[in-house]
Amino acid sequence: MATHTQKIIILDFGSQTTQLIARRIREQKVYSEIHPYTLPLEQLQAMQPSGIILSGGPASVYDADAPLSDPGLFELGLPVLGICYGAQLMTHQLGGTVERAEKREFGKAELRIEKAEPIFSGLAAAPALHQVWMSHGDRIATPAPGFVVSATSAHSPAAALQHMDKPFFAVQFHPEVAHTTIGIDVLRNFIFNLCDCVPNWTISSFIDSTIASIRTQVGDGQVLCALSGGVDSSVTAALVHRAIGEQLTCIHVNNGLMRSGESDAVIRFFRGQSTFHLIDVDATDFFLERLKGITEPEEKRKRIGYGFIEIFEQEAKKLGEVSYLAQGTLYPDVIESVVFRGKAPIKSHHNVGGLPERMHLALIEPLRELFKDEVRLLGLELGLPREAVFRQPFPGPGLGIRIMGEITAQRLHVLRQADVIVLEEMKASGWYDKVWQSFAVLLPIQTVGVMGDGRTYEHVIALRAVDSRDAMTADWSQLPYELLGRISNRIISEVRGVNRVVYDISSKPPATIEWE
């Protein structure tokens, strides 16, 4: 992992927009990391943050099982910004009171700034009103000792607070969301004016620091890289190759869950466009046997992940002395795999969670700190072709998590045919580059239909297309009816065994982008 001399640490208390806080800070060219609120104080200190942000969350501070931070963080002498639940937590832990609000605030609200300096520096004070986004059922009733109110709203007499002597600030609204028109101003004031950060975290600086980190970690060792041909693995391979050159061997595993012709295309591209040492392994039968009879989504993901590890282990032995495995783990993968307050993660990711102890390979995950759009910028900076960098995301488990229920060769054949049609029509219409992701899903049900005056009872294909920036949140894409109609007609006409096509109009959250 690359090191950063300046960073803002965000302690996560379960808000759905915590990731947006990190994004907004990085957009200001300042590095930020998200950690669970349970992060031990000594680890927090060791990170040497420039400032700390306490995120929002769904709990109430007066609940018996309310998530609480280590109160010692307020003794570190660092600037602290509490947002929504984080603001209430700061009040609660420093001696103020929080109570259930008579009138809750959800959505747009008008903020009246009473004291501009320093968190609202540059913004007009009273009587000016500013639109903010609220999402809370509790309110700060009595500020903690030493705090004064710096802004109010119709139902929050303490919509923002600041300590008179210490660099502690609390805002009831969410500065990270676009609906808060002054949100960027608030975050900029915190990170630059109060935390004294310098806007020097760029993709170029990330490349330099990461290359140095990889060289230090690897030394003269040998590295394997799992190369699927997707954006994440391609950028990982390019970055590691720039760092250590011929010490890198890339392995492409055809797990039988790839799109039609995709494995052959990946091999042709990388052997024709690069100097990577590339080994290709056809493990179709191996994976299908491992997945036989398995229908539970998490179990499928795990078997696919462990299957990759077994293949890499076998190939590593053939190569002799290999010490490291490089893979394209991204920050959203890490975040979604975290267990929060004892609850199950959103989903397990095949490339998160380390390696079996028997596999004596250390992990290199150079993209672990990045969001998807940052990875794309990195790919361009490394000289990868635009068509490779901006291809739509394809999940590591492949079509295995786009087939609901058991994975079989026959069901894979049906889905591959439908998938080809979706991609052909999306590209022909110009919509492929307009959406974040578009794909077909094979459902575990069959429905009655009529074809050629005869009754059918066949498969259902669901279409999914979403708009997103970083895969942490997503809205369903409003594709033209004509395009949806063409895709549906072609699938039903050309893919034997399908008689119905439906369109998924759910957003993330509450749904996820992939179906499993």
Strand pairing partners for 110?
131
In 10 A of CB 274, how many CB atoms?
A: 15
Q: Is 176 tagged catalytic?
A: yes
Strand pairing partners for 139?
99
Cα distances (Å, whole numbers) of residue 71 to 75, 95, 123, 146: 8, 11, 31, 16
Catalytic residue among 105, 130, 163, 176: 176
Answer yes or no: are the C-beta atoms of 407 and 291 closer than 8 Å.
yes
Q: Is 84 tagged catalytic?
A: yes
Cα-Cα-Cα-Cα dihedral sign, residues 375, 381, 384, 388: positive
Closest by CA to 462, choosing from 482, 475, 447, 473, is: 447
Residue 287 is inside which H or E element, if any?
Answer: helix 284-290
Instruction: Classify 169 as helix, strand or coil.
Output: strand
In 10 A of CB 414, how many CB atoms?
A: 21
Closest by CA to 492, choosing from 445, 451, 446, is: 451
Non-local (6+) Cβ contacts of 427 within 8 A are: none
Burial class from Cβ neighbours inside 10 Å (0-12, 13-18, 19+) for residue 315 reads middle
Q: In whole angstroms, how large is the CA radius of gyration of the chain?
A: 25
Residue 426: which region, alpha, beta or left (left: phi > 0; alpha: psi -120 to 50)? alpha
d(CA 516, CA 405): 10
Cα distances (Å, whole numbers) of residue 28 to 21, 24, 373: 11, 7, 15
Catalytic residue among 4, 130, 136, 174: 174
- 125-130's contacts with Cβ under 8 Å and 24+ in sequence apart are 130/181, 130/182
Strand pairing partners for 501?
461
Whether residue 118 has a cis bond before it, omega within 30° of 0: yes
At residue 477, what are phi and psi to the nearest 5 degrees? -80, 135
Strand pairing partners for 36?
12
Burial class from Cβ neighbours inside 10 Å (0-12, 13-18, 19+) for residue 296 reads exposed
Catalytic residue among 4, 84, 313, 350: 84
Residue 419 is inside which H or E element, if any?
Answer: helix 409-429
Cα distances (Å, whole numbers) of residue 506 to 179, 447, 511: 21, 22, 6
d(CA 88, CA 75): 18
The catalytic residue positions are 84, 174, 176
